[in-house]
């Protein structure tokens, strides 16, 4: 029961953090508006002047300074917000355990903000199976990338335009921030990118704060349990690590700790020493799988892994969650959520391709091999 209580608390808390991450991503909009305004202002200053190398250099330099300045200001605010999140997460962990641990002599230790910040900055962030970065680099890369993109758009305008007026109209039309969330305009793409950076950065800080808390309270925290979001957008590696317990000594530790990829929403929660009993409570967590193409949000039991919840869906919705009718069919034939979870990743926690699963010496491999034979026989 203790594990289910913490799963309930942190699955609900994770929903709150997802909303915070979304807000952080949208906080870039005022800064993008300032860039938009500065681009108009700078071009308006030169509209009646000839297209010369000197004017091009002056316009380019002014726009570059404005865009870099505004994007850097956004990153400063984002980093400040994440430092606060880290501090709050450590305090939230202490408050949670102090409330639910039934033991008079128990009092958790809260790591300092400096400790959490140091760990978050020093610990690499996993962006994909083969790509890692640091928090500082990820933050810097955002403003560098999009200020460079703006510079390139201005340069392209000068290459193709015949007058300052024409260049200004072309550049602004390509950059302007539109209401459509799917717009391909440059500042809209910068907005979407900010949302990804914010989500990933916040998740990194929150989970590193939990690890810092675990180190300070090693007498009660003996490991960490993965919690994945129960919906159809969850990645395969996060599906596999739902309710899985790991310690830093495990060989797949680096693959286990979220974020496990860009936009990762997964979390870790504490696995406690059995000597510490917890206050009993109703244990539910949120799920939001797609059913018939529409989200179906509802509370479900905190017990059971991601695939045990997915097993309750109909076949087409399982296929959608796995993003593969082939894997969906194999999942149903295997009829063992735990074995399926173990068979879809390698020993380091990296997702396997269907081809690699088919070649494996296990039950899922045999099922996929039989499915492939039948497919070829029909061809």
pLDDT digits (tens, 9 = 90+) for 56-66: 999 999 999 99
Beta bridge partners of 45: none
User: With a cut of 70, which residues of the chain have pLDDT below it?
Assistant: 1-3, 102, 104, 276-304
| pLDDT confidence of residue 298 | 46
| pLDDT confidence of residue 295 | 46
Q: What is the pTM of this model?
A: 0.79
| pLDDT confidence of residue 230 | 82
| pLDDT confidence of residue 303 | 59
| pLDDT confidence of residue 275 | 72
| pLDDT confidence of residue 30 | 97
CA distance 116 to 236: 29
| pLDDT confidence of residue 206 | 96
The answer to whether 268 touches 225, Cβ cutoff 8 Å, is yes
Angle CA 8–11–14, to nearest 5: 145
H helical segments located in 47-134:
53-100, 113-122
| pLDDT confidence of residue 241 | 92
Q: Where are the beta strands (DSSP E) in the chain?
A: 125-126, 132-133, 221-227, 230-231, 245-246, 267-272, 284-288, 290-291, 294-295, 298-301
What DSSP state is assigned to residue 1? -
| pLDDT confidence of residue 152 | 96
């Amino acid at each position: 029961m203790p594990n289910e209580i913490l799963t309930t608390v942190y699955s609900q808390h994770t929903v709150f953090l997802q909303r915070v991450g979304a807000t952080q991503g949208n906080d870039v909009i005022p800064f993008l508006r300032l860039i938009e305004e500065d681009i108009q202002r700078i071009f308006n200053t030169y509209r009646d002047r000839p297209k010369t190398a000197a004017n091009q250099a002056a316009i380019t330099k002014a726009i570059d300074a404005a865009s870099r300045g505004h994007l850097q200001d956004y990153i400063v605010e984002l980093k400040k917000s994440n430092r606060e999140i880290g501090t709050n997460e450590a305090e939230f962990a202490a408050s949670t355990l102090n409330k639910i641990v039934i033991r008079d002599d128990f009092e958790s230790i809260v790591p300092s903000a400096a400790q959490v910040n140091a760990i978050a900055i020093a610990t690499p962030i996993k962006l994909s199976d083969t790509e890692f970065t640091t928090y500082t680099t990820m933050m810097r890369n955002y403003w560098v990338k999009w200020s460079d993109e703006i510079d390139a758009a201005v340069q392209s305008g000068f290459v193709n335009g015949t007058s300052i007026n024409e260049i200004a109209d072309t550049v602004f039309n390509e950059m302007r921030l539109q209401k459509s969330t799917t717009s391909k305009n440059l500042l809209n793409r910068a907005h979407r990118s900010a949302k990804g950076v914010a989500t990933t950065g916040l998740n990194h800080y929150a989970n590193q704060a939990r690890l810092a808390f675990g180190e300070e309270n090693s007498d009660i925290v003996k490991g960490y349990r993965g919690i994945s979001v129960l919906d159809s957008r969850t990645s395969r590696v996060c599906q596999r690590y739902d309710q899985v317990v790991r310690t830093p000594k495990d060989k797949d530790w680096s693959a286990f700790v979220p974020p496990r990829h860009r936009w990762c929403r997964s979390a870790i929660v504490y696995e406690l020493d059995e000597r510490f009993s917890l206050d009993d409570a109703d244990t539910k967590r949120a799920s939001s799988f797609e059913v018939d193409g529409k989200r179906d949000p509802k509370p479900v039991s905190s017990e059971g892994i991601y695939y045990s919840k997915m097993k309750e869906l109909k076949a087409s919705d399982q296929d959608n969650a796995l993003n593969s009718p082939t894997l969906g069919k194999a999942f149903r034939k295997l009829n063992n959520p735990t074995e399926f979870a173990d068979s879809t990743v390698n020993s380091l926690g990296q997702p396997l391709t269907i081809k690699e699963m088919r070649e494996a010496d296990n039950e899922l491999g045999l099922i996929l091999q039989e499915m492939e034979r039948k497919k070829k026989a029909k061809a």
